[in-house]
Amino acid sequence: MQENNKTLGEFIIENQKDFPYSSGELSRIFNSIKLAAKVVSHKVNKAGLVDIIGGVGEKNVQGEDQQKLDVYANEIFIQTLINREIVCGIASEENDDFITVEGSDKSHNNKYVLLMDPLDGSSNIDVNVSVGTIFSVYRRITPIGTPVTLEDFLQPGINQVAAGYVIYGTSTMLVYTTGCGVNGFTLNPAIGSFYLSHPKMTIPADGSIYSVNEGNYVHFPQGVKDYIKYCQLEEEDRPYTSRYIGSLASDIHRNIIKGGIYLYPTSSKAVKGKLRLLYECNPMAFIVEQAGGKASDGFDRVMEIVPTSLHERSAFFCGSTNMVNKIEDCMLKAKLSKY
């Protein structure tokens, strides 16, 4: 999918018109993201050579064990964004509360807030499996010049103005959308620049891959069990192939390219789901929809859910449109059968 030698910076400048209301912020936000991503990528690639793998002995607000790279990536992204005074607020999966960003003149004149999962799938780092960063950008609701409030972050996904992910794998890739399609850029580590490698990414309407942690099968809702059985049936185009990495960005990235569905349902162990609506579900839903796919909580469009808390969780089914339609059908039939 190689195209030309167009860099991420050049591409953003050429497509600035696709970012309404902006007067250069898009370029500045992505300059910060790509800088932080390069620093994190460098550190990830040194895992095993320096003391950066393993846990820190603490839990984050989610009650999950924090990895050293979780903390490192979180600090790098936050400090890079704060130092460049581009956004007025930051919310991270690793932080209890949002961060208010003041300018050097103590003003609050920036227009955008950024939400992120700084190191998605960090438990995989110890075994040299791909991890990622997921981010989402919204235009603030409160008046410019005032401090941000919780209201600025609790917006439905349909209000996103940009979203993306970075994969730290065999190569480091940054994939993003501003609502005008999806494009992917690969880092050339020799010169430190991201180059357009995957222009106009689209996900097939059908696929043959399903991604789910089947170890939790007995805890899943009946509709999800029915769908998994459907995937495993011997038919003309089935059984489907099961592929689950455990890093959301990596699983979604594969499925965008090859066609497939990612499933993280509610369960008897996680009655509200496990993935975070603001840091994981909404940005991935925006990207997949812009690539021609679909994202659902099993019944409704994910991006239309109005969040009520920073760390709200949701069921998440995302990928090829026909595959998501099928699981919604299974969920509805299972629900109706109870009555």
C-alpha to C-alpha distance for 261 and 263, rounded to whole angstroms: 6
Cα separation, 162 vs 169, whole angstroms: 23
Q: Tens digit of pLDDT for each residue in 55-70? A: 555 555 565 566 788 8
Determine how β-strand 275-276 pairs with β-strand 313-314. Answer: antiparallel
Annotated binding site for Mg(2+): 93, 117, 119-120, 280
Residue 325 confidence (pLDDT) above 90: yes
Where do we find the tokens 């969040």? 307
pLDDT at residue 30 is higher than 50: yes
Under 8 Å between Cβ of 174 and 183? no
Question: Alpha-carbon distance 107 to 127, whole Å?
Answer: 44
Binding-site annotation: residue ranges: 93, 117, 119-123, 213, 244, 262-264, 274, 280
pLDDT confidence tier of residue 49, bands split at 50, 70 and 90: very low
Sign of CA dihedral 261, 265, 269, 272: positive
Question: Per CATH, the architecture of 8-198 is what?
Answer: 2-Layer Sandwich (3.30)
pLDDT confidence of residue 43 = 84
Quickly tell me which residue has 């794998």 as its tokens. Answer: 169
Residue 15: predicted pLDDT = 82
How far is Cα 263 from Cα 240, in angstroms, rounded to an integer?
A: 14
Give dist(CA 196, CA 5) in Å, integer: 7
pLDDT of residue 19: 65
pLDDT above 70 covers what percent of the chain? Answer: 91
pLDDT at 1: 44
In this predicted structure, the answer to whether residue 339 has a pLDDT above a threshold of 80 is no
Report pTM.
0.93
The values of phi and psi at residue 204, to 5°, are: -60, 150
Among 13-22, 252-261, 276-285, the range scoring the smallest mean pLDDT is 13-22
Domain locations in the chain as residue ranges: 8-198, 209-336
**pLDDT band at residue 23, thresholds of 50, 70 and 90?**
low
Higher-scoring residue by pLDDT: 227, 122: 227
The first and second tokens of residue 118, run together, are 């700084």
Element (H, E) at 196: strand 193-198
Query: Could you read off the pLDDT of 205-224 as tens digits, one per residue?
Result: 999 999 999 999 999 999 99
pLDDT averaged over every residue in the chain:
90
- Is the pLDDT at 39 greater than 90? The verdict is yes
pLDDT of 230 strictly over 60: yes
pLDDT at 53: 53
Can you give the pLDDT at residue 2? Answer: 46
- Residue 93 to residue 62: CA distance in whole angstroms: 8
**Binding site listing for substrate:** 120-123, 213, 244, 262-264, 274
Cα-trace Rg, the chain: 20
CA dist list (Å): 118 to 13, 70, 78, 214: 25, 7, 9, 26
Residue 152 to residues 24, 74, 144: CA-CA distances in angstroms? 21, 20, 11
CATH class of 209-336: alpha beta
Gap between the Cα atoms of 255 and 288, Å rounded: 10
**pLDDT at residue 128, rounded to an integer:** 76
